[in-house]
Chains A and B, each alone.
Chain A
Amino acid sequence: MRVSTVMMFERSVGSMNRQQSAFMEVGEQIASQKRVVRPSDDPQAASRAVGVSQSLATNSQQNDSRVTVRNSLSQEESVLNSVSDSLTRGKELLIQAGNGTLSDADRQSLATELRGVYEAVLGQANSTDGNGGYLFGGYQDGAEPFVKDASGAVQYAGADQVREQKVDSSRLMEVGNTGSDVFQTVAAGSGYVAKADTDNAGSLTFTGPQVTDTTADGYGDSYDISFSENVDGTFGYTIKGPADSITTGTYDGTSATLEFGGVRLTLEGAPADGDKLSTGPAKDMSPDIFTTFENMLSALENPLDSDVDKAAFANTLSTSSREMDNALDNVLTVRASVGSRLNELDTLDTVGSDRKISYAQTQSDLIDLDYTTAISDYVLRQVGLQASQKAFVDLQGTSLFDLM
C-alpha cells in the first residue's frame, strides 16, 4: 500500500501530539495531586466526591456545634459547682441556726452571713456566658432570668425551653438548663415537705414528714391538716387528702404521731384553734430556693420573744432545711446531667473524628492521586513521547533524494 509523504509526516506529528498530551495529563495530575481534576476524568467518582464532601462539611458543622455546646456546658458546670458550694454553706448555716442556745443577736449575724450566700446564689443564677447571654435564661438569654419584684421576692423571667444544637447527625443536644430547672425544681424522688401556716398562733411544731410506705394508698398526694380546740382542752384534727377525703382524730396537745398516705408526721406542742399544717411531695410544694432563703432570713431576723415565735422559727427551720437539701440534690442532679452531656460530646467527638478520617479516606480514594501509579505512568509516557520524537526524526531522515 502506498503511504503518502504527507501522511507519514502527519502520522508521526499526530503521534507526538498524542504522546505529549498524555504526558501533560499525568503531569497535571501530579501537579494537582488529584486523579480526578475534571468531572469527565471519572464522572462517577467526581459525583460521589461531591456527596462525600457534603458529608465532610456536615461533619465539620457538627464538630463546630460540639465546640460551642461544650463551651456553654463547661461554663454551666463550673457555675453549678459554685452554686452547690453556696448551698452547702447555706445548709451549714441552717444547722447552726438550729442550735437552741443562740441569742437573737447570734441569729442576726447568722442571717447576715446567710444573706451573703443568698446574694451569691442569685448572682450565680444570673451568670452570663462569653457572649453576654444569660446561662439560665433558656431562649430568653438576653435579660437576667431572676429578678426581684417590688416586694423583694425573686421571680423567674426566663423561658421554659433551652436552645438545642445539632451535635451529631441525629442528636439535638440541649445547650444548658433553664433557671427554673435548676433553682425551682426538685430532683425526682425527693420525698415530702411539710410547712406550717404562717398565721399559726400556737406552739405546735412538727418533725418529718418521714415516708414510711411508698405503696400505701394516697402516697404521693398532698394533705392539709387543720386543728380545732375541743372544750376539754384537747384538739381535734382534720386531714384533708386527695379528692377531699377527710380523716379526723383527736390530739392531746403534747405530742402525737400521725400516719397517713404512707407518710409519718410527728407533732409536739399545743396548736391554737385554726392552726394549719400542709404537707406534700416536694415537687408539689412550690420549690424555689430563693423563697427558701427569704423565709429563712425573715425567720432568723425575727426575735424569739414567745413560744409561738419559737415554734414558728422551728417549723420554718425544719421546712427550709429540707428544701435546702432538696435544692442541693437538684443542683447536683443537673450537674450530673451536664456532665453526662459533656461525656457524650467526648464520645461524639471521637465518632466524628473517626468519621472524618473515613470520609477523607473515601474522598481521597475517589479523587486523589495514587503516586505510585502516576509516577510510573509519567515515566512510561515520557518514554512514549521520546520514542515518537525519535521515530519522527528517523522518518524525516529517510528520503531517497538524500541517498542518490
Chain B
Amino acid sequence: MSLFSIGLSGLSAAQNALSTTSNNISNVYTDGYSRQLTLLGQNSSGEGAGSGVSVDGIQRQYNSYISSQLNQVNSRQSALETYQSQVNQIDDLLADSDSGLTTLMQGFFSSVEDLTGAPADAAAREGVLGSSNSMAAQFRAYDSYLGDMREGINGQIGDVVTQVNNLSDQISDLNKQVTLARARSGEEPNALLDQRDKLVSDLGELVDVNVQVQDGSTYQVSLSNGMPLVAGNKSFDLVAVKDSEDPSSITIAYEDGAGSRSPLKESVIQGGELGGLMSFRSETLDSAQNQLGQLAVTLAQSFNAQHEAGVDLNGDPGKAFFEIGSPTLISRSTNTGDGSMDAEYGDVSQLTADDYRLTYQADGSYSVENLGSGETSVASPDADGTLSVGGVTLTPSGTPAEGDVFMLQPTRNAAAAFEVVLSDTSEIAAAGADSGGSGDNRNALALLELQNQKLVGGSATFSGGYASLVSDVGNRTAITQANLTTQEGLSDQLYAYQQADSGVNLDEEYANLMRYQQYYSANAKIIEAGSTILDTILGLRA
C-alpha cells in the first residue's frame, strides 16, 4: 500500500474528525443536541504494514437509560411547577391581610357590637349594613378569583392537549423518517434521532408518557394506562371535553383510530403540565372554593336564622339578612333516566366542604360517595320523599335509571351568590322576640355571639373556618415547594449524568480541534514524505 493512499486515508479521517468537532462546537448551545464522536478504525484491506485508517461512523453520544429517567423526572417536575404556579396564586390571595376576608368579617361583627350599644341608632344600623355589604362583596371577589382560575385551567388544558397532539404527530412522522433514513444509507440519522428525543422530552413536560423502542428504531409512546399516543408512524389524539359529571370542568378524553372518544380518568395523567393542572384542580382549587362556600353558607344561614328570631325597629319579625344560593346538583349528561333533584340547605352544622357522587341503585336507594374522604354510604328517600346528604336536603323527582349519577356540590358555588338582601336599616332585627322597645338589643347580642360559636361544620368558628382554609392552602403550597425542590435536585443530578454523555465541553472540543489539526498536518506530511521518496527515485534516473 502506498504512502499516498495511507496519507489520504488519514487526511480524510482528520477532515471527518475536524468536521465532527466543529459540528459539536457549533451546536454547543443547541437544545437536544447530543455530542458526536468520529469512530476511527484500522483499514483492514492491506497486509503487513497495513493500509491506513477508515472512518467507521459518526456516533451520537446518547444514553437512552439516563435520558428516559431524566424525562420522567422532568415530567414530574413540570407537574409540580405547574401546580406551584397555580397554588401560589391562592397563597397570594390569602396573604392580603388588610382587606382580607378575616378583616372584613371582624369589621362586620364589630359593627354588630356597635349595634348592641345603640340598637336604635341610625348610624349604627347603617354601619351594620355597610360592613355586611363589604364582607359579602369580598366573599364574592374571592370566589370569582378562584372561578377565574378554574376558567384559566380549562383553557390551559385545551392548549396543552393541542400541543400534545402536535408533538405526537411530529414524533410519529420522525419515526417514519428515521426508518427511511436508516434503510437508505445504513448510517445513523443522528440529527433526526436528536430531534425525536427532544420531542419526546418536550412531550414528557406536558404529560407523563412511557416510551418503548420497537424494532430498534421506532418509538412507541403511550399513556400510563397503556393507551398509545404514538404507535409506529401513527398518532392518536387527546381531546379536551366537558366533564360529563361536572360540565364546568374541562377534562380529557382519548380518541381512538376510529374517532370514538373515551373519557380518561384523571388518575391516568399525573405528570407534566396536564397532570399538574388537573391534580391542582382536584386537590386544592376544589377544596379551597368549597371551604370558602361552606364559610359563606354557614355565615349566611346562621345569621339569617338568628336575625329572623328577632324583631326589627318597626316591630316586625326579622327577615332574611343574607341571600345565599342553593347547592349545586348536576345530573350526569349521560344519564339514561329522567330523574332530577332539588337541592336545598338543611342542617348547616352537617355541611362539609366535600362533594358527593350519588348513584341510583335498582332498589330505589342512592349510593353516596364522598369525593373528599372516599367514604361511601347508602341513602334512601324518607317518608317525605327527601334524602339528606352532607347538610343538604335533596328532593328527587322523575324516574332515574339504575346507575344514573348525580353530582352534589353543596358549597362550590355558594360564595358567588352571597349577598346582603336587607336594604332598609330599620329592618335590622336588633330586638328580642317580644320586642321590649327601641332600646332592646337582645337579638343584636345573640347575633354578636354567633362569632364565638362553633358553627362551621359544627366544629369551628367563622374565623376558625377561615384559618383552616389558610392552613390548608399554606400547607399545600409549602409541600409543593418542598417536593419541587427535591425534584429539582434529582433532575439536576440526572441532567449532569446526561450531560456527561451527551453534552459538549468547549475546552474538550478545542483540544480535539488542536489534536485533529495536528493529525491532519501529520497525514499531509505522510504524503509529502511519499512525494519526496518518489522524487528521490525519479531523481535517480535522471
B499 near A140 (CB under 8 angstroms)?
Answer: no
- Say yes or no: is B529 at the interface (Cβ < 8 Å to chain A): no
Report how far A65 CA is from B439 CA in the complex, Å: 15
Report how far A340 CA is from B507 CA in the complex, Å: 90
- Say yes or no: is B303 at the interface (Cβ < 8 Å to chain A): no
A138 near B499 (CB under 8 angstroms)?
Answer: no
B441 near A163 (CB under 8 angstroms)?
Answer: yes
Report how far A56 CA is from B369 CA in the complex, Å: 40
Of the candidates A5, A58, A64, A404, the one whose C-beta lies within 8 Å of that of B451 is A58
Q: Which of A38-46, A261-269, A288-296 is the interface stretch?
A: A38-46
B439 near A5 (CB under 8 angstroms)?
Answer: no
B441 near A6 (CB under 8 angstroms)?
Answer: no
Chain A nearest CB from B395 CB (Å) reads: 37
Of the candidates B91, B116, B514, the one whose C-beta lies within 8 Å of that of A165 is B116
- Say yes or no: is B95 at the interface (Cβ < 8 Å to chain A): yes
Q: Mark A276-291, 1 if CB is under 8 A from B, else 0.
A: 0000000000000000
Task: Count residues of A near B (Cβ-Cβ below 8 Å).
Answer: 54
A contact residues around B126 at 8 Å (CB): none
Report how far A1 CA is from B88 CA in the complex, Å: 38
Report how far A43 CA is from B113 CA in the complex, Å: 31
A contact residues around B92 at 8 Å (CB): 38
A contact residues around B42 at 8 Å (CB): none
- Say yes or no: is A102 at the interface (Cβ < 8 Å to chain B): no
Q: Which of A47-55, A75-83, A192-200 is the interface stretch?
A: A47-55
- Say yes or no: is B145 at the interface (Cβ < 8 Å to chain A): no
Of the candidates B106, B116, B473, the one whose C-beta lies within 8 Å of that of A166 is B116
**Identity of the chain A residue whose Cβ is nearest the Cβ of B495 in the assembled complex:** A7
- Say yes or no: is B505 at the interface (Cβ < 8 Å to chain A): yes
B contact residues around A224 at 8 Å (CB): none
**Among the interface residues A43, A50, A51, which one has the most CB atoms of the partner chain B within 10 A?**
A50
**Identity of the chain B residue whose Cβ is nearest the Cβ of A40 in the assembled complex:** B477
Given A39-B470, A165-B441, A399-B507, CB of A7 within 8 Å of CB of B499: yes
Given A166-B116, A400-B511, CB of A5 within 8 Å of CB of B500: no
B514 near A166 (CB under 8 angstroms)?
Answer: no
Chain B nearest CB from A162 CB (Å) reads: 8
Chain B nearest CB from A116 CB (Å) reads: 30
- Say yes or no: is A154 at the interface (Cβ < 8 Å to chain B): no
- Say yes or no: is B467 at the interface (Cβ < 8 Å to chain A): yes
**Among the interface residues B102, B103, B438, which one has the most CB atoms of the partner chain A within 10 A?**
B438
**Among the interface residues B28, B116, B439, B510, which one has the most CB atoms of the partner chain A within 10 A?**
B439
Of the candidates A7, A51, A159, A399, the one whose C-beta lies within 8 Å of that of B496 is A7
A57 near B106 (CB under 8 angstroms)?
Answer: yes
Report how far A121 CA is from B385 CA in the complex, Å: 67
- Say yes or no: is A164 at the interface (Cβ < 8 Å to chain B): yes
Report how far A399 CA is from B505 CA in the complex, Å: 10
Report how far A50 CA is from B470 CA in the complex, Å: 8
B contact residues around A43 at 8 Å (CB): 470-471, 473-475, 477-478
**Among the interface residues A5, A41, A159, A162, which one has the most CB atoms of the partner chain B within 10 A?**
A5
Given A133-B439, A163-B441, CB of A42 within 8 Å of CB of B503: no
Q: Mark A1-42, 1 if CB is under 8 A from B, else 0.
A: 111111100010000000000000000000000000111111
- Say yes or no: is A61 at the interface (Cβ < 8 Å to chain B): yes
- Say yes or no: is A141 at the interface (Cβ < 8 Å to chain B): yes
Taking chain B's interface residues, is the majority helix, strand, or loop, or is none over half, making it mixed?
Answer: helix
Given A164-B445, A399-B506, CB of A51 within 8 Å of CB of B110: no
Q: Mark B498-539, 1 if CB is under 8 A from A, else 0.
A: 011111111110110010000000000000000000000000
**Identity of the chain B residue whose Cβ is nearest the Cβ of A39 in the assembled complex:** B474
Report how far A1 CA is from B114 CA in the complex, Å: 74
Report how far A53 CA is from B97 CA in the complex, Å: 10
- Say yes or no: is B346 at the interface (Cβ < 8 Å to chain A): no
A2 near B474 (CB under 8 angstroms)?
Answer: no
A6 near B117 (CB under 8 angstroms)?
Answer: no
Q: Which of B52-60, B175-183, B458-466 is the interface stretch?
A: B458-466
Chain A nearest CB from B83 CB (Å) reads: 12
**Identity of the chain B residue whose Cβ is nearest the Cβ of A142 in the assembled complex:** B438
- Say yes or no: is A124 at the interface (Cβ < 8 Å to chain B): no
Report how far A165 CA is from B441 CA in the complex, Å: 8
Report how far A46 CA is from B94 CA in the complex, Å: 10
B118 near A172 (CB under 8 angstroms)?
Answer: no
A5 near B505 (CB under 8 angstroms)?
Answer: yes
B109 near A61 (CB under 8 angstroms)?
Answer: yes
B contact residues around A37 at 8 Å (CB): 95
**Identity of the chain A residue whose Cβ is nearest the Cβ of B123 in the assembled complex:** A131
Q: Mark A372-388, 1 if CB is under 8 A from B, else 0.
A: 00000000000000000
Chain A nearest CB from B364 CB (Å) reads: 44
Q: Mark A118-148, 1 if CB is under 8 A from B, else 0.
A: 0000000000000101000111111000000
- Say yes or no: is B169 at the interface (Cβ < 8 Å to chain A): no
A47 near B470 (CB under 8 angstroms)?
Answer: yes
**Among the interface residues A1, A51, A62, which one has the most CB atoms of the partner chain B within 10 A?**
A51
- Say yes or no: is A60 at the interface (Cβ < 8 Å to chain B): yes
Report how far A300 CA is from B458 CA in the complex, Å: 69
Of the candidates B113, B119, B120, B508, the one whose C-beta lies within 8 Å of that of A65 is B113
B contact residues around A47 at 8 Å (CB): 467-468, 470-471, 474
B contact residues around A141 at 8 Å (CB): 120, 437-439
A64 near B110 (CB under 8 angstroms)?
Answer: yes
A50 near B116 (CB under 8 angstroms)?
Answer: no
B120 near A142 (CB under 8 angstroms)?
Answer: yes
Chain A nearest CB from B70 CB (Å) reads: 13
B438 near A140 (CB under 8 angstroms)?
Answer: yes
B474 near A38 (CB under 8 angstroms)?
Answer: yes
Report how far A176 CA is from B383 CA in the complex, Å: 53
Q: Mark B428-444, 1 if CB is under 8 A from A, else 0.
A: 00010001111111100
B contact residues around A166 at 8 Å (CB): 113, 116, 445, 448-449
Chain B nearest CB from A39 CB (Å) reads: 3
A40 near B478 (CB under 8 angstroms)?
Answer: yes
A contact residues around B119 at 8 Å (CB): 163
**Identity of the chain A residue whose Cβ is nearest the Cβ of B449 in the assembled complex:** A166
Of the candidates B88, B114, B463, B474, the one whose C-beta lies within 8 Å of that of A64 is B114
Chain A nearest CB from B34 CB (Å) reads: 11
Of the candidates A4, A57, A404, the one whose C-beta lies within 8 Å of that of B504 is A4
Of the candidates B114, B437, B452, B500, the one whose C-beta lies within 8 Å of that of A139 is B437
Of the candidates B442, B445, B463, B511, the one whose C-beta lies within 8 Å of that of A50 is B463
B contact residues around A42 at 8 Å (CB): 474
B contact residues around A175 at 8 Å (CB): 117
**Among the interface residues A133, A139, A142, which one has the most CB atoms of the partner chain B within 10 A?**
A139
A159 near B437 (CB under 8 angstroms)?
Answer: yes
A51 near B441 (CB under 8 angstroms)?
Answer: no
- Say yes or no: is A362 at the interface (Cβ < 8 Å to chain B): no
Given A40-B477, A163-B440, CB of A400 within 8 Å of CB of B507: yes
- List 23 A–B pairs whose Cβ atoms lie within 8 Å, in order of A's numbering: A4-B35, A4-B499, A5-B28, A5-B503, A6-B499, A7-B495, A39-B95, A39-B471, A39-B474, A40-B91, A43-B473, A51-B463, A58-B109, A61-B110, A65-B117, A69-B117, A139-B436, A163-B441, A164-B445, A165-B445, A166-B113, A399-B506, A400-B506
Residue numbers of B with Cβ under 8 A of A are 28-29, 35, 88, 91-92, 94-95, 102-103, 106, 109-110, 113-114, 116-121, 431, 435-442, 445, 448-449, 451-452, 461, 463-464, 466-468, 470-471, 473-478, 481, 492, 495-496, 499-508, 510-511, 514
Additional A-B contact list (13), CB under 8 Å, known A4-B504, A68-B117: A3-B505, A5-B28, A6-B503, A7-B503, A40-B91, A42-B474, A65-B113, A139-B431, A139-B438, A141-B439, A163-B440, A165-B445, A401-B506
- Interface pairs A-B: 3 shortest CB-CB: A4-B503, A39-B474, A139-B436
